[in-house]
Chains A and B, each alone.
Chain A
Amino acid sequence: MDLYREEVMDHYEHPRNMGEIASPDLEGRDSNASCGDMVQFQLSVEDDIIVEVRWKGIGCAITTAAASKLSVYLQGRTLKELREISEEQLIKEAIGFDVNPGRIKCLTLPVRVIRKLSEN
Chain B
Amino acid sequence: MFDPKIVKKDFPILSRVINGKPLVYLDSGATSQKPKAVLDAERDYYEQHNANVHRGAHTLGDEATKLLSNSRKKVAAFIGGRDEETVFVRNTTEAINLVAYGWGLDALKPGDTILTTEMEHHANLVPWQQVAGRTGAKVELIHITPRGLVDLVDYENKLKNKPKLVALVQVSNALGTINPIKEMAKAAHKVGAVVLVDGAQAVPHMKVNLADLGCDFYAFSGHKMIGPMGIGVLWGKKEMLEKMSPFLTGGGMINEVFPDHSTWADVPEKFEAGTPNVAGAVGLAAAVEYLETLGMDEVRKHDEDIVAYALKKLKEVKHLKLLGTEDPKVRSGSVSFEYSGVHAHDVATILDSEGVAVRSGHHCTMVLHKALGIAASVRASFNLYTTYEDIDSLVVALAKVNKVFGK
Contacts and interface: CB of A to CB of B under 8 A. Distances in A.
A3 interface: yes
Contacts of B343: 35, 37, 59-61
Contact of B349 (A3, A35, A59): A3
Nearest to B364: A34
Interface in A57-83: 58-62
Nearest to A100: B349
Interface in B364-398: 366, 369, 375-376
Majority DSSP secondary structure for residues of B touching A: helix
Interface string B341-354: 01111100110110
A103 B376 contact: no
B215 to A, nearest CB: 31
B361 interface: yes
Contacts of B6: none
Interface residues of A, number: 19
A12 B353 CA distance: 19
A35 B353 contact: no
Contacts of A34: 361-362
Interface string A1-20: 10110000100000000000
Given A1-B353, A60-B343, A103-B349, A36 B375 contact: yes
Interface centre among B342, B343, B353 (most CB of A within 10 A): B343
Nearest to A34: B361
A37 B344 CA distance: 11
Contact of B345 (A9, A33, A58, A62): A62
B153 interface: no
A24 B205 CA distance: 56
B362 A61 contact: no
Contacts of B342: 61
B211 interface: no
Contacts of A3: 349, 353
A17 B343 CA distance: 21
Contacts of B350: 1, 4
Contacts of A61: 342-343, 346, 405
A58 B374 CA distance: 12
A111 interface: no
B346 A9 contact: no
Interface string B214-243: 000000000000000000000000000000
Interface of B: 342-346, 349-350, 352-353, 360-362, 366, 369, 375-376, 404-405
Interface of A: 1, 3-4, 9, 33-37, 58-62, 99-100, 102-103, 106
Given A1-B349, A61-B405, A102-B349, 15 more contacts: A4-B346, A4-B349, A33-B366, A35-B362, A35-B376, A36-B362, A36-B369, A37-B343, A37-B375, A60-B343, A60-B345, A61-B342, A61-B343, A62-B346, A62-B349
28 contacts: A1-B350, A1-B353, A1-B404, A4-B346, A4-B349, A4-B350, A34-B361, A34-B362, A35-B343, A35-B344, A35-B362, A35-B375, A36-B369, A36-B376, A37-B375, A58-B375, A59-B343, A60-B344, A60-B345, A60-B346, A61-B342, A61-B346, A61-B405, A62-B345, A100-B349, A100-B352, A102-B349, A106-B345
